[in-house]
Amino acid sequence: MSNFAFGLGVGTQSAAGDWLEVYFNAPLLNAADDLIKAVGDALGYEGGNQTIEIEESQLKALEAAFLSVGAEDQAEIVEVLEGTRQPLVVCILASDEEPQTTAEVYLKLSLLSHRLVKPHGINLTGMFGKLPNVAWTNEGAVALDELPKRQLAARAQGRVLDVHSVDKFPKMTNYVVPAGIRVGDAARIRLGAHVGEGTTVMHEGFINFNA
Amino acid sequence: MSNFAFGLGVGTQSAAGDWLEVYFNAPLLNAADDLIKAVGDALGYEGGNQTIEIEESQLKALEAAFLSVGAEDQAEIVEVLEGTRQPLVVCILASDEEPQTTAEVYLKLSLLSHRLVKPHGINLTGMFGKLPNVAWTNEGAVALDELPKRQLAARAQGRVLDVHSVDKFPKMTNYVVPAGIRVGDAARIRLGAHVGEGTTVMHEGFINFNA
Amino acid sequence: MSNFAFGLGVGTQSAAGDWLEVYFNAPLLNAADDLIKAVGDALGYEGGNQTIEIEESQLKALEAAFLSVGAEDQAEIVEVLEGTRQPLVVCILASDEEPQTTAEVYLKLSLLSHRLVKPHGINLTGMFGKLPNVAWTNEGAVALDELPKRQLAARAQGRVLDVHSVDKFPKMTNYVVPAGIRVGDAARIRLGAHVGEGTTVMHEGFINFNA
């Protein structure tokens, strides 16, 4: 069972249940066959490229699956997620086809910023259509049509909902800070940027996704 | 009773009681006569351009006034604000004269960013003198002379009071994100900017108030 | 007992106990002899340039020392810090020698941004080696090797650990906002910048440390 990529993610959905973004703590490129088989058995995966939304109640089985194949790192991620109320997703990509879901796009952008694939080394065709335009705030991703109510409610409670950007792409550093870099203003680097070790991005710089 | 603009706002005051900024969730241009009459009766408005500070205890009467004229949207804002401890204000502007208070300036800047008026289409004469220089932080607007004590207290409690900018103008997106825009770095757009639908402001761009 | 500089700081350490940064609320240049003597007696200072880590339990003695010499401002800082769980440090610099610790570098950078010394008016030789590369976040300074776990834990709890920059230097305004300035985007000014009264830094500007 060959595999292109794997990721266990925790993300944000709109009130309507649409995915706004997904955080993959430790995505895998070419995951081991036995890991995919164990996880697949636990989640009912039947092959191909799948975005599988999971419940918190499935995490114990997922942890056992990881431990059964010695994937301690992934098992540790599951442990941290146990008890969460945030939406969870598992992406299993058998091949590098065009991404079909928001989660798949985020997995692929994460592979780039984790330096697991090189710029232009991954199929992102049609990705824009899978990425919603989102308000990126100090309280996480917020759907644009929910923003005014959220801002008003925050104000009533004495807080400010601080909107950092309004964009299809989040900033890379909120997802991964690859080793050996310095970044003056993190707003300048989108998730999906591939920032080489030793790079310093001063405050005027801007690195686009997949660049 | 002709009317130029109306706004119900929630804002921030310094310890000395000076207004630092006002958030208008849904300002109105040329508000309906019956709305102004109903609100005016509830608050004792006697005409002209008035900035009326209100108490939380007056919100019920304000809600009734809005409902009496079918202004459901404004009534919903009041509902969210009920129970708040934040300072509240109602601005009623009979005409587009020079703004006389901080709240009036914020109402006019909000009209611009809500695309209710066009750049240079509103009287902002003397506005700079009505806008205090403010520290814009993750905990909201802070008066500059209170900042060092607030920063120290936050540190003692294990938090950081993050100062995003020190300016008379806040960033637009913390007040309104008009439809159909993308903004790479929201720090670049001041409240009062008029950002047309379909605009994408990349990370190098900067749009000034009233531009 | 001549003295070059003095500072009482509250800061952040990594899980391994390394200093990441230190906030000095009110550093002193050429502190009064009697202040240094009183504080030195309270803390067992024996001369030279010393970075003295102190416990919360020592704050009462420190406050008494400040009050004994009429240093009300410093005593007030101590009062705010009483009860804190954050790491505390006192820096006493007898002379302007090369900084030997992270805290000493932060004290010197703070002297610059507090306008107590002029750019190039202080010995910063070797400072880069004393400054760790840090993730600057909405929850304070985070050690880079702890970041992925902190980000995952925040996500599991429905928060976002927002990484503003990855750099040896923090932004100045989180440490001090000197009087009479405006700063469009505070990310552009590093601690250690010397920003003159009346300066307005618009959004394109960038001021480096010691400049």
Query: In the predicted model, what is the mean pLDDT of residues B74-87?
Result: 98
Question: What is the tens place of the pLDDT at every residue in C90-113?
Answer: 999 999 999 999 999 999 999 999
Question: What is the tens place of the pLDDT at every residue in A129-172?
Answer: 999 999 999 999 999 999 999 999 999 999 999 999 999 999 99
Question: What is the tens place of the pLDDT at every residue in B82-119?
Answer: 999 999 999 999 999 999 999 999 999 999 999 999 99
In a domain, A204, yes or no: no
Q: Band of the pLDDT at B2, cuts 50, 70, 90?
A: confident
In a domain, C202, yes or no: no
Residue C198: DSSP 8-state = T
**Same domain for A123 and A86:** yes
In a domain, B181, yes or no: no
Strands (E), chain B: 5-13, 19-24, 28-29, 50-54, 88-93, 134-137, 140-143, 163-167, 182-183, 200-201
Cα–Cα distance list, A197 to A182, A194, C23, C167 (Å): 9, 10, 30, 14
**Same domain for B34 and B11:** yes
Is B15 a residue whose pLDDT tops 80? yes
Contact A86 C161 (CB under 8 A): no
- What distance in Å separates the CA atoms of residue A23 and residue A17, rounded to the nearest whole number? 17
CATH number of the domain at A85, please.
3.30.70.2010
Residue scoring higher pLDDT (B140 or C186): B140
- As a whole number, the mean pLDDT across chain C is 95
pLDDT of residue C210: 63
CB C189 within 8 A of CB C208: no
- What distance in Å separates the CA atoms of residue A148 and residue B174, rounded to the nearest whole number? 10
pLDDT of residue C202: 82
From A175's Cα to the closest Cα of chain B, the distance in A is 17
- What distance in Å separates the CA atoms of residue B179 and residue B176, rounded to the nearest whole number? 9
pLDDT of residue B1: 58
Neighbours of A45 (CB within 10 A): 17
Interface probe with B: pick from C174, C176, C190, most Cβ of B within 10 Å: C174
Contacting residues of A for C163, CB less than 8 Å apart: 171, 173-174, 177, 186
Q: Band of the pLDDT at C206, cuts 50, 70, 90?
A: low
Contact B174 A160 (CB under 8 A): yes
CB A56 within 8 A of CB A88: yes
pLDDT of residue A211: 65
**Same domain for C83 and C34:** yes
Structure tokens at B42: 């509830």
- As a whole number, the mean pLDDT across chain A is 95
Query: In the predicted model, what is the mean pLDDT of residues B47-74?
Result: 97
Selection from B12, B32, B10 nearest residue B143 by Cα: B12
pLDDT of residue A98: 97
Kindly give, in sequence order, each residue whose CB lies less than 8 Å from that of residue C90, ignoring residues fewer than 6 positions away. C6, C7, C8, C9, C39, C43, C51, C52, C54, C62
**Contact partners of B by the rule of 3+ C-beta pairs under 8 A?**
A, C
Is C207 a residue whose pLDDT tops 80? no
Contacting residues of A for C139, CB less than 8 Å apart: none
CATH number of the domain at C145, please.
3.30.60.70
Question: What is the tens place of the pLDDT at every residue in A30-65?
Answer: 999 999 999 999 999 999 999 999 999 999 999 999
Q: How many CA atoms lie within 13 A of B117 on its CB side?
A: 23
**Contact partners of A by the rule of 3+ C-beta pairs under 8 A?**
B, C
**Same domain for C153 and C107:** no
CA B150 to chain centre: 23
pLDDT of residue C115: 96
Residue B129: DSSP 8-state = G
| Minimal Cβ distance to A77: which of C152, C185, C206 | C152
**Same domain for B51 and B24:** yes
| Minimal Cβ distance to A158: which of B86, B171, B187 | B86
Hey, which residues does C34 pair with through a beta bridge?
none
pLDDT of residue A126: 96
Strands (E), B40-133: 50-54, 88-93
Burial class (CB in 10 A: 0-12, 13-18, 19+), A44: exposed
Residue B46: DSSP 8-state = -
In order, the DSSP letters of A1-48 are ---SEEEEEEEEE-TTS-EEEEEESS-EES--HHHHHHHHHHHT--SS
Query: In the predicted model, what is the mean pLDDT of residues A20-27?
Result: 98
| Minimal Cβ distance to A155: which of B10, B164, B171 | B10
Contacting residues of C for B165, CB less than 8 Å apart: 173, 183-186
| Minimal Cβ distance to A140: which of C144, C160, C185 | C160
Nearest CA in chain A to B76: A149
**Same domain for B53 and B154:** no
Kindly give, in sequence order, each residue whose CB lies less than 8 Å from that of residue A113, ignoring residues fewer than 6 positions away. A172, A175, A176, A178, A191, A192, A193, A194, A195
Helices A72-81 and C147-156, packing angle to 10 deg = 40
| Minimal Cβ distance to B173: which of A163, A168, A206 | A163
Residue scoring higher pLDDT (A204 or C84): C84
**Same domain for A97 and A11:** yes
Neighbours of B204 (CB within 10 A): 13
Contacting residues of B for C25, CB less than 8 Å apart: 148, 151-152, 155
Nearest CA in chain A to C145: A179
**Same domain for A89 and A29:** yes
Contacting residues of B for A160, CB less than 8 Å apart: 138-141, 174
**Same domain for B148 and B126:** no
**Same domain for B115 and B18:** yes
Cα–Cα distance list, A207 to A103, A122, A202 (Å): 22, 18, 11
Q: Is the dihedral of CA C194, C197, C202, C203 positive or negative?
A: positive
Structure tokens at B114: 């809500």
Hey, which residues does B115 pair with through a beta bridge?
none
In a domain, C48, yes or no: yes
What is the share, in percent, of chain C residues with pLDDT greater than 90?
A: 91
- What distance in Å separates the CA atoms of residue C94 and residue C84, rounded to the nearest whole number? 28
Q: How many CA atoms lie within 13 A of B154 on its CB side?
A: 22
Q: Which domain holds residue A15?
A: 5-130
Kindly give, in sequence order, each residue whose CB lies less than 8 Å from that of residue C70, ignoring residues fewer than 6 positions away. none
Is B206 a residue whose pLDDT tops 70? no
Contacting residues of A for C141, CB less than 8 Å apart: none
Question: What is the tens place of the pLDDT at every residue in C30-54?
Answer: 999 999 999 999 999 999 999 999 9
Contact B183 A168 (CB under 8 A): no
Neighbours of C119 (CB within 10 A): 13
Contacting residues of B for A149, CB less than 8 Å apart: 80
pLDDT of residue A210: 63
Interface probe with A: pick from C136, C149, C150, C162, most Cβ of A within 10 Å: C162
| Minimal Cβ distance to C185: which of B138, B155, B187 | B187
Contacting residues of C for A185, CB less than 8 Å apart: 164-165, 185, 187-188
pLDDT of residue C211: 66
**Same domain for C66 and C93:** yes
- What distance in Å separates the CA atoms of residue B71 and residue B36, rounded to the nearest whole number? 11
Contact A153 B181 (CB under 8 A): no
In a domain, A156, yes or no: yes
- What distance in Å separates the CA atoms of residue C125 and residue C161, rounded to the nearest whole number? 34
- What distance in Å separates the CA atoms of residue A42 and residue A148, rounded to the nearest whole number? 41
In a domain, C104, yes or no: yes
In a domain, A93, yes or no: yes
pLDDT of residue B95: 97
**Same domain for C65 and C149:** no
Contact A25 C167 (CB under 8 A): no
Lowest mean pLDDT among A207-211, B41-45, B169-173, B183-187: A207-211
- What distance in Å separates the CA atoms of residue B51 and residue B125, rounded to the nearest whole number? 17
Chain A contacts to B (CB-CB under 8 A): 133, 135, 138, 144, 147-149, 151-153, 155-168, 185, 187-188, 206
What value of ipTM does the predicted structure carry?
A: 0.94
Is B209 a residue whose pLDDT tops 80? no
From B149's Cα to the closest Cα of chain C, the distance in A is 8
Selection from A148, A15, C46, A108 nearest residue B23 by Cα: A148
pLDDT of residue A203: 78
Contact A164 B185 (CB under 8 A): yes
pLDDT of residue A188: 87
Contacting residues of A for C152, CB less than 8 Å apart: 10, 23, 25, 77, 80-81
Query: In the predicted model, what is the mean pLDDT of residues C148-168?
Result: 97
Residue C193: DSSP 8-state = B
Instruction: Report the number of distinct structural domains present in chain A.
Output: 2
Residue B67: DSSP 8-state = H
Selection from B91, B80, B82 nearest residue B56 by Cα: B82
Query: In the predicted model, what is the mean pLDDT of residues B46-65?
Result: 97
- As a whole number, the mean pLDDT across chain B is 95
Is C205 a residue whose pLDDT tops 90? no
In a domain, C187, yes or no: no
What is the share, in percent, of chain C residues with pLDDT greater than 70?
A: 96
What is the share, in percent, of chain B residues with pLDDT greater than 70?
A: 96
From A70's Cα to the closest Cα of chain C, the distance in A is 20
**Contact partners of C by the rule of 3+ C-beta pairs under 8 A?**
A, B
CB C136 within 8 A of CB C171: yes
Contact B166 C173 (CB under 8 A): yes
Interface probe with B: pick from A165, A189, A190, A209, most Cβ of B within 10 Å: A165
